[in-house]
Amino acid sequence: MRITTDRETCVGSGACVFHAQGVFDQHPDGRVLLLVEEPDEALRAAALTAAANCPVNAISVNDV
Amino acid sequence: MTENAERGTATGSLPVFPLDRRKCPLSIPQEYEAMRADEPVAKVINRMTGKPAWALTRYADVRQVLGDPSMSSDARNPGYPHQFQVPEEMLPYIAFPFAAMDPPEHTVRRRMVIPEFTAKRIAELRPRTQAIVDARIDDMLAKGGPVDLVAELAVPVPSLQFCEMLGADPEHIGYFRDYAETTTGRDSSMEAVAGAIAQMDEFLDELITEKTHTPGEDLLSRIAARLPEEPTLEHDDLVAIARLLVIAGSDTTANIISLGTLVFLEHPKQLAEVRRDPSLLPGAIEELLRFLSILDSATVRVATKDIELAGGEIVREGEGVLALNGAANWDPSRYPDPHRFDIHRDAEGHMAFSYGNHMCPGANLARMQLEVVFGTLFSRIPDLRLAAPADELPYMFDAHAYGLHELPVTW
pLDDT at B193: 83
Query: Which of A19, A30, A49 has its CB closest to that of B117?
Result: A30
Residues 6 or more apart whose Cβ sits within 8 Å of residue B362: B117, B245, B248, B249
Does the interface ipTM go beyond 0.85?
yes
pLDDT at B238: 95
Q: How many CB atoms lie within 10 A of CB B337?
A: 10
The mean pLDDT of A17-31, rounded to a whole number, is: 97
pLDDT at A27: 98
B410/chain A closest Cα distance in angstroms = 34
Whole-number Cα distances in Å, B45 to B162, B222, B320, B398, B401: 36, 42, 10, 16, 20
- Give the 3-state secondary structure of residue B315: strand
Query: Residue A52, class by beta-carbon neighbours within 10 Å (0-12 exposed, 13-18 middle, 19+ buried)?
Result: middle
Residue ranges, chain B, pLDDT below 50:
1-11
Chain A nearest-CA residue for B122? A14
For B91-148, what is each residue's pLDDT tens digit?
A: 888 888 999 999 999 999 999 999 999 999 999 999 999 999 999 999 999 999 999 9
Whole-number Cα distances in Å, B56 to B35, B61, B140: 9, 7, 42
Which residues does chain A have within 8 Å of residue B110's beta carbon, measured at their own beta carbons?
A: 11-12
B359/chain A closest Cα distance in angstroms = 6
Share of residues in chain A with pLDDT > 70 (%): 100
For B2-27, what is each residue's pLDDT tens digit?
A: 344 443 344 468 999 999 999 999 99
Chain B nearest-CA residue for A12? B114
- As a whole number of Å, the CA-based R_g of chain B is 21
Residues 6 or more apart whose Cβ sits within 8 Å of residue B59: B328, B329, B331, B333, B334
Cα–Cα distance measured from residue A15 to residue B350, given in angstroms and rounded to the nearest whole number: 12
| C-beta of residue B387 within 8 angstroms of C-beta of residue B128 | no
Q: How confident is the model at residue A63 (pLDDT cuts 50, 70, 90)?
A: confident
| C-beta of residue B381 within 8 angstroms of C-beta of residue B137 | yes
Chain A nearest-CA residue for B282? A18
Long-range contacts, B86-94 (Cβ 8 Å, 24+): B86/B48, B86/B49, B86/B190, B87/B190, B88/B49
pLDDT at B174: 75
If phi over 0 gives left and psi between -120 and 50 gives alpha, with beta otherwise, what is residue B393? Answer: beta
Q: Which of A8, A9, A10, A11 to mutate to test the interface with B (most CBs of B within 10 A)?
A: A11
Q: What is the DSSP letter of B395?
A: B
pLDDT at A64: 76
Can you give the pTM of this predicted structure? 0.95
| C-beta of residue B359 within 8 angstroms of C-beta of residue A13 | yes
Residue B11, φ and ψ in degrees, nearest 5 = -80, -5
B361–A13: do the CB atoms touch at under 8 Å? yes
For B258-288, what is each residue's pLDDT tens digit?
A: 999 999 999 999 999 999 999 999 999 999 9
